Amino acid sequence: MNITLKLYASLGAFLPPGSARNTIELDVAEGASIGEVLALQNVPRGNCHLILVNGIFTPPVSADGKALSEGDTLAVWPPVAGG
C-alpha cells in the first residue's frame, strides 16, 4: 500500500533519497504499523516524540500496534515546541 511519510526537524536526516520538502511517498506492506515504517527508515524510536497520522496524535508507545491504511500520511517530530 502507498503511504506518505514526513520526517521533520532532526529526523529529516533519516528520509531516503528522492525525498523533497521533508516528504516521500512509500510503498509499504499492507497493514504495516507505524513502528515498522519507522524501522525501515532507521529512525531512532527514542527521538520520535510527536507522531501524527493524518494530523491526529498517536502516542509514541502505541506506534507498534497502530496499523496504517492506504493513503495515510504519517508525520513525525523529535521533541519540539515553540510559540
Partner 1 sequence: MGWTGKVLRVDLTKGTCAPEDLNREWADQYMGQRGLASKYLAEEMDPKTDPLSPDNKMIFATGPLTGTCASTGGRYSVITKGPLTGAIACSNSGGYWGAELKFAGWDMIILEGKSKKPVYLCITDDKAELLDASEIWGKSVWDTDAWIKTRHQDPQMHVSGIGIAGENGVLFSCIINDLHRAAGRSGVGAVMGSKNLKAIAVRGTGGVKVDDFPAFLAATSAAKEVLAGNAVTGEGLPTFGTQVLMNVINEAGALPTRNTRDVQFDGAHDISAEAMAEPSGKNGKPNLLANQACFGCTIACGRISKVNEEHYTVQNKPEYWHASGGLEYEAAWALGAATGVNDLDALTYANFICNEQGIDPISFGATVGAAMEMYEDGTLTDKDTGGLKLKFGSAEALTTAVELTGKAEGFGAELGLGSKRLCDKYGKPELSMTVKGQEFPAYDPRGIQGMGLTYATSNRGACHLRSYTVSSEILGIPEKTDPLVTDGKADLVKAFQDATAAVDSSGLCVFTTFAWTLEDIAPQVDGALPGNWSVDKLLEVGERIWNLERQFNLQAGFTAKDDNLPKRLLKDAAKTGPAKGLVSGLKKMLPEYYAARGWTKEGVPTNETLSRLAL
Which residues in this chain contact partner 1 in the complex, by CB under 8 A? Answer: 6, 8-10, 12, 21-23, 49-50, 52, 54-57, 59, 73, 75, 77-83
Task: Provide the residue type at 3 as one letter.
Answer: I
Shortest Cβ 12–partner 1 spacing (Å)? 6
**Cβ atoms < 10 Å from Cβ of 69:** 12
Whichever of 64 and 78 has its CB closer to partner 1, that residue is 78
Polymer length in residues for the chain: 83
Closer residue to partner 1 in complex, CB, 49/66: 49
* C-beta of residue 25 within 8 angstroms of C-beta of residue 2: yes
